[in-house]
Copies of this chain bind each other. A is one copy, B any other.
Amino acid sequence: MFGVTILGNNSALPAYDRHPTAQVVTLNDQLFLIDCGEGTQIQMARYKIRWSKIHHIFISHLHGDHYFGLIGLVTSMGLLGREQELNLYGPPQLEDIIQLQLKVADTTLPFPLIFHKLEKEGLIVDTAKFQVECFATQHRIPCWGFVIREKKKPRKINKEKVLASGIPAVYYERLKNGDDYETKDGSIIKNETVTIPNKTPRSYAFCADTIYDESLCAKVQQVSMLYHESTYLKDLAERARARFHSTTEQAANIAKKAAAERLLIGHFSSKYENLHEFLDEAKAVFLDTELAIEGVTYMIN
């Protein structure tokens, strides 16, 4: 399974029972938390998110609506006796803030809390099955987006064809990696005649808070699902620009230019109670758009 569960879809001020930014990405048996606004631990309890499965937390930037819930979550994990290490990725000062708050409370966490300072774009997590990259977005203060990508899966053996070809079983692993086979008489059996491609690796990009910035497109090119903030409706493009945020139409334009498969929009301003216009405006530009609704898991296929 690969999916993203929205825990908070609102911008700075909580309103209409919408909460500040937090998302949980599930990739098979791993959970990743992206951003952690105030009350995230409560939202996690509400939507039955299993904390113990979270080993990596990514914080995009140090505006409060993206991280004020982090110290509470970390402290609660400690109170519940967590022992597994927890990796935190965020702007360098995040460590100072968390350490100061632990120190004044005279709290020693029962688990290793490992800080990874985000200072340049690139790979930040690399495992056998997936990798995570960070990229800079343009906001009022330093801000990072994240792409979580499944790794390319080996090709599948076409059993019938491979048996007929006479290729020895010991060579099958190389076939899965895409290699051709050279027979004793020097002729080449092309890989694609005896294997079939596996599923295309899926990917999820989280564009954090950002002004409209077409240079983002190269960083999130062809992702399976793109989350892009849409703080305002399109008539407030000037206000969006002044505050380093984006509109519906701008988010949809990025999805279109990046050739993303689907678009998820969120970070709605508290000035809007009803969200249907967000969907209408974005869909007019990019049809495969959905609203990020709290408690909903969007599957990435």
Taking Cβ atoms with an 8 Å cutoff, the residues of A that contact B are: 12-14, 38-39, 41-42, 45, 62-64, 68-69, 71-72, 75-76, 79-80, 91, 93, 96-97, 100-101, 104-106, 140-141
Contact = CB atoms under 8 A, between A and B. Distances in A.
A23 to B, nearest CB: 19
9 contacts: A13-B80, A38-B39, A62-B101, A62-B105, A64-B105, A68-B68, A68-B72, A68-B75, A97-B104
A64 B77 CA distance: 13
Contacts of A101: 62, 64, 97
Contact of A38 (B13, B38, B93, B104): B38
Given A38-B39, A38-B72, A68-B71, 20 more contacts: A12-B75, A12-B76, A12-B79, A13-B76, A13-B79, A13-B80, A14-B41, A38-B41, A38-B42, A38-B69, A39-B39, A64-B72, A68-B68, A68-B72, A68-B75, A93-B100, A96-B100, A97-B100, A97-B104, A104-B141
Q: Determine how many copies of this chain the complex contains.
A: 2
A93 B97 contact: no
A75 B71 contact: no
Contacts of A41: 14, 38
Nearest to A93: B104
B14 A42 contact: yes
Nearest to A14: B42
Nearest to A41: B14
